Amino acid sequence: MEEAIYAYRRKGRKVYGIRNHVLILPTTACVNRIAEIIWDEFKDVRWGENKENRVVLARHSGGCTHIGFDEEIAFNTLLGLASHPNIYGVLLISLGCGQFCKRPLIEGENKKLNLSEFKLYDRLLKRGVKVYWINVQERVMFKKYKSSLEQAIDLGKKFVERMIEDAKTMEREETGLEHFVMGIGNGASDPTSGLFTNSALGYVVDHFIHKGGTVVFSQTIEMLGAEELVFRKIDRNKRKHVYNKVKRLLETAVVLKEALQEYLGESDPTPGNIRSGISTLTEKSVGTMLKIGHDPSIPIKDVLYFSQKIPRNGGLYLMDSPGMDIFSISGMIAGGAHFVIFTTGMGTPVGSVAGPVLKVTTNKETFEKMPDIIDIYIPIEEIFDRGKKLKDLSIEIMYPKILKVMNGEILSLAEQRGHMDFDVRCYWPRA
């Protein structure tokens, strides 16, 4: 099987991207509409050999009144998205008075006037990211503008146009899987998810890692009840610190769930999970954990906090995150996952602002009902009719499509339909 990856090399950053998008990123939710106005000018612009690159917009509900750990997580999430390997350049749109709205220093300005550990612009420059910045509250600097808002919108469009023209000059280069991170998740689960789909993904995870790639999974709450399966993926003698991290993480999740149980009701499993035939969180979790792989020689290397940068050194990583699909995907993408494989039983259109999200199911009814949402159907009837093994079937069907999406030969259905899901508010305590 041909496994060469053709990707965009980010000069000076030692990373490769499978897309070459230009990102419009509000630093606070207050300017989401301003960002939309600018994005609307470029929403139909495409480039790349297969028109796989575009201008993407990251609407979100954060950027202001964060405190403590929540502030740190929100900042890291925005920073991680803006410096994502799949992003060529970013336009930051600030209101001017929010926590992350600090403008870059003007030449000759006293640095003491602009001290803040939360300065997206400066941190992005240090990471070697192509970045432009506009501020809605900034004074009118050019006479042709009637207001600072008009000025910000016009300048923003010019900056985006400039980045598009530069991005169009880049070409893909051949490289290896060792430079890439695959995120994995699941949602809208039903019994077929646990019985077949997650297990099928587990075989692909093993294969991807053996070929040199890195895999990250999240959704902490959905490990509860499947602790034994999780701890099997940790070599306690060689990685005691990882074992202790996971143990503390799960203990924290249990306390949090018990404390909120009265208010959660049918939160997890969701009402849909229950209607489909999943009876308990334990049942759901045991099925969920099958997606992290079957090979006992591939342990969990480390536990990462939400949106933490994911090492690109091969192997399996756990990222602490809420169970909700958009939050868990946002955390993995902000951490640097190039794409996400997402298993589902009932179907979900969820996508991502920076990387492809491929939906996989073994539920034939769901696939036939939602062909515009489900990227991959694994025909498990062949296991019974033709005696095929789930492992062989999974790699044979899923892996070639993954490579084609990575190479930009095809787009995920979420990309085709313009799903750009992202958010930063998680309120999830670090264990």
Give the H or E element holding residue 288: helix 281-289
In degrees, to the nearest 5, what angle opens at C-alpha 414 toward C-alphas 408 and 417? 100
Three-state SS sequence of 330-396: HHHHHCCCCEEEEECCCCCCCCCCCCCEEEEECCHHHHHHCCCCCCEECCCHHHHHCCCCHHHHHHH
CA–CA separation, 138 and 290 (whole Å) = 52
Tell me how far apart the alpha carbons of residues 426 and 429 are, in angstroms, rounded to a whole number.
Answer: 9
Number of domains in the chain: 2
Residue 296 included in any domain: yes
Q: Clarify whether residues 161 and 179 are in a common domain.
A: no
Same domain as 400, residue 300: yes
pLDDT of residue 116: 45
Residue 51 lies in a domain: yes
On whether both 151 and 282 belong to a single domain, the answer is no
Report how far residue 409's alpha carbon sits from residue 418's, in angstroms, rounded to the nearest whole number.
17
Question: What length is written for the chain?
Answer: 431
Tell me whether residue 11 is in a domain: no
**Do 94 and 232 fall within a single domain?**
no
Q: CB of 410 within 8 A of CB of 341?
A: no
The answer to whether residue 161 sits within a structural domain is yes
Decide which of 167, 187, 211 is a domain's last residue: 167
Position 1 scores a pLDDT of 46
152 and 85: one domain? yes
CA–CA distance, 266 with 89 (Å, rounded to integer)? 42
- What pLDDT is stored for residue 256 in this prediction? 73
Q: Which two tokens stand for residue 308?
A: 């933490």
DSSP 37-92: HHHHTTTT-EESTTS-EEEEE---S-SSS--HHHHHHHHHHHHHHHT-TTEEEEEE
- Tell whether 142 and 188 lie within a shared domain: no
What pLDDT does 267 receive? 56
Nearest to 430 by CA among 81, 70, 80: 70
pTM: 0.94
Final residue of a structural domain among 167, 189, 224: 167
Among 127, 147, 167, the domain-final residue is 167
What pLDDT is attached to residue 320? 94
H or E stretch including 286? Answer: helix 281-289
Q: Note whether residue 249 is domain-resident.
A: yes
Structure-block tokens of residue 93:
């749109």
Looking at residue 238, what is its pLDDT? Answer: 82
Residue 124 has a pLDDT of 92
Whether 122 and 153 share a structural domain: yes
Query: What's the pLDDT score for residue 15?
Result: 96
SS3 state of residue 260: helix
111 sits in the region (left: phi over 0; alpha: psi -120 to 50; else beta) called: alpha
Residues 219 and 99 in one domain: no
In a domain? residue 10: no
Helices marked H in 127-178? 148-167
Whether 105 and 206 share a structural domain: no
Listed residue (268, 261, 297) closest to 282, CA to CA:
268
Q: Tokens for 278?
A: 């999943």
326 and 394 co-located in one domain: yes
Q: pLDDT at position 66, please?
A: 87
Statement to judge: residues 108 and 185 lie in one domain: no
The secondary structure of residue 217, as a DSSP letter, is E
Q: Is residue 421 part of a domain?
A: no
Question: In Å, what is the CA distance from 407 to each residue of 71, 192, 290, 403, 410?
Answer: 36, 30, 27, 6, 8
Q: Is residue 8 part of a domain?
A: no
Residue 367 has what pLDDT? 97
**Residue-level pLDDT, tens digit, the chain, 431 residues:** 457 899 999 988 889 999 999 999 999 999 999 999 999 999 999 999 999 999 999 999 999 888 888 888 999 999 999 999 999 999 999 998 888 876 655 666 555 544 444 578 888 988 999 999 999 998 898 999 999 999 999 999 999 999 999 999 999 999 999 999 999 999 999 999 999 999 999 999 999 999 999 999 999 988 999 999 999 999 888 889 999 999 999 998 888 777 666 555 555 677 778 787 777 777 888 899 999 999 999 999 999 999 999 999 999 999 999 889 999 999 999 999 999 999 999 999 999 999 999 999 999 999 999 999 999 999 999 998 999 999 999 999 999 999 999 999 999 999 999 999 999 865 555 55
**How would you label 305-336 residue by residue, b for 16+ Cβ within 10 Å and e otherwise?**
bbbbebbbebbbbbbbbbbbbbbbbbbbbbbb
Task: Supply the range of the domain harboring residue 43.
Answer: 21-167
Residues 193 and 101 in one domain: no
CATH of the domain at 111: 3.40.50
Residue 86's pLDDT is 98
**All residues at 6 or more sequence positions from 126 whose CB lies less than 8 Å from its CB, including other chains:** none
Report residue 43 as tokens.
């929403």
